[in-house]
């Protein structure tokens, strides 16, 4: 039986039906999805857990504490939910790129 995890990231032009992937080593299955909204993230988590019994959900830094709690509660507190957070210097590197690409500002 493999450990099953899903990584979910945000993008303003995402379509989770189209922007998804699976890496399967045999002992580890990593599903990846890019979503536009929290509602899409919740839907992905619920559907994938119902089909695959996910062990862990990994979220990009764009998810708020409220979003994380909502996902955890939606899965009845039975699936680990972790958030990727960078340190200060790393955020200074990625922040301007995300602002430019996602919002057209610098």
pLDDT digits (tens, 9 = 90+) for 67-91: 999 999 999 999 999 998 888 888 8
Burial class (CB in 10 A: 0-12, 13-18, 19+), 79: buried
**25-68 pLDDT tens trace:** 999 999 999 999 999 999 999 999 999 999 999 999 889 999 99
Domains of the chain (ranges plus CATH)? 3-103 (3.40.50)
How many whole angstroms separate alpha carbon 47 and alpha carbon 44? Answer: 5
How many whole angstroms separate alpha carbon 61 and alpha carbon 91? Answer: 10
103 pLDDT exceeds 70? yes
């Amino acid at each position: 039986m493999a450990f099953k995890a899903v990584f979910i990231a945000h993008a303003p032009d995402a379509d989770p039906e189209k922007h998804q992937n699976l890496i399967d080593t045999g002992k580890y299955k990593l599903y990846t999805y890019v979503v536009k909204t929290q509602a899409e993230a919740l839907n992905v988590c619920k559907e994938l857990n119902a089909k695959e019994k996910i062990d862990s959900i990994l979220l990009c830094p764009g998810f708020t504490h409220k979003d994380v709690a909502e996902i955890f509660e939606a899965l009845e507190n039975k699936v680990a939910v972790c958030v990727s957070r960078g340190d200060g210097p790393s955020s200074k590197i990625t922040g301007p790129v995300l602002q430019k690409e996602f919002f057209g500002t610098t």
